[in-house]
Every structure is written in structure tokens, then in C-alpha cells.
Amino acid sequence: MKSPNFYFSAFTFFLITSCSTNGGKISVPDAVKKAFQTAHSDKKAEWEKEDDSYEAEYKENGIEKSIVYDAQGNVIETEAEIPVAELPAGVADYVNKNHNGYTIEEAERMESSKGTFYEVEIKGKGQELELVFDSNGNFVEQETEDEPDDSEKDD
């Protein structure tokens, strides 16, 4: 039988680790929040942290968008949901040829210092994949979708 001290220690550990994420919220640097609020004062963002960057996800005119910032508040990348019909020629051909039985479910345009890229989410055969294409519709890479660890609503 385990002692009461064991249970107290286990409970304390659980309490400390569950509270250390601030109730599931991440700490977004002031410079990052200020940069977002300056550009989008009328928008509320849901924040995610990825490595050393911070992503603000929000809606504008019914379109899902996001901005990725570095810790100093500089924009690294922007993303915006687009209709599948707006994808460059070649994307659908690539999916049909290399992922037979999959359909394009969602599409996004990504802008960064590296250029314009398109990310598509395809589903089929019990799987969901994300593919990235350059501005000419050439395949660049397949991404694995990671679930965000922490997120925060910005009020």
C-alpha cells in the first residue's frame, strides 16, 4: 500500500505541471502581441507557439488567416485560406498522379521571404496529408501535421 505522502507528492506534481502551462495558455511576448494588434486591432487571435515563433490565427471576412512572428514581433510568414480553384495549375495533376484516391480538402497561400507557396490538405484511404507547392505548382514537400501543444485566446 502506498503512503499518504506518495499520493500528496503525486498530486502536488500533477498540480504544478498542469498549472505551469498557465491553464493551457502560452506566454506571448509583448512585442508580438503589439505587432498583431497594430496590424489587426479589430481581430481576436488564437495563439500557438512553434519552436521560437508565435502564430496568431484569426478570421477576416470569413477567411481563416494566420501570421507567424519571431519573438521580436517581426513577421516571418502569413497564411490565408483560398478556394481550391485558385491553386496553381499542376497541383491537382500532382495529387491525382501521386495520391490516387485522395481529394484536396483545403488550400492555403503562404507568403514569406522565401516566396509564395501553397499548402493543400488532402484526404483519402483513411489518411490526411499536407503537401506544399511553389508558386508554379511544383511539389516542394510533404508535411506532417502536428497538433498544437498550447494555445491562447487574445482578448
Residue 20 domain-assigned (yes or no) = no
Domains of the chain: total: 2
**One domain for residues 102 and 71:** no
**One domain for residues 140 and 108:** yes
**One domain for residues 109 and 131:** yes
Residue 8 domain-assigned (yes or no) = no
Residue 99 is given by DSSP the state S
Q: Indicate which CATH number applies to the domain containing 88.
A: 3.10.450.360
pLDDT at 83: 97
Q: Where are the alpha helices (DSSP H) in 26-139?
A: 30-39, 91-98
Q: Where are the alpha helices (DSSP H) in the chain?
A: 4-19, 30-39, 91-98
Inform me whether the pLDDT recorded for 16 exceeds 70: no
What's the pLDDT tens digit per position in 102-126?
999 999 999 999 999 999 999 998 9
Residue 134 domain-assigned (yes or no) = yes
Give dist(CA 15, CA 60) in Å, integer. 38
Q: Indicate which CATH number applies to the domain containing 66.
A: 3.10.450
**One domain for residues 116 and 69:** no
Residue 151 domain-assigned (yes or no) = no
**One domain for residues 30 and 74:** yes
Considering only CA atoms, which of 51, 93, 90 is closest in space to residue 69? Answer: 51
Give dist(CA 149, CA 69) in Å, integer. 17
24 falls in which pLDDT band (50, 70, 90)?
A: low
Question: In the chain, what percentage of residues exceed pLDDT 90?
Answer: 72
What's the pLDDT tens digit per position in 55-99?
999 999 999 999 999 999 999 999 999 999 999 999 999 999 999
Residue 104 domain-assigned (yes or no) = yes
Enclosing domain of residue 36: 25-78
Of 35, 60, 78, which closes a domain? 78
**One domain for residues 60 and 106:** no
**One domain for residues 88 and 140:** yes
**What cell does 150 get?**
498550447
**What cell does 59 get?**
478570421
* Structural contact between residues 67 and 75, judged by C-beta atoms closer than 8 angstroms: yes
Give dist(CA 127, CA 93) in Å, integer. 19
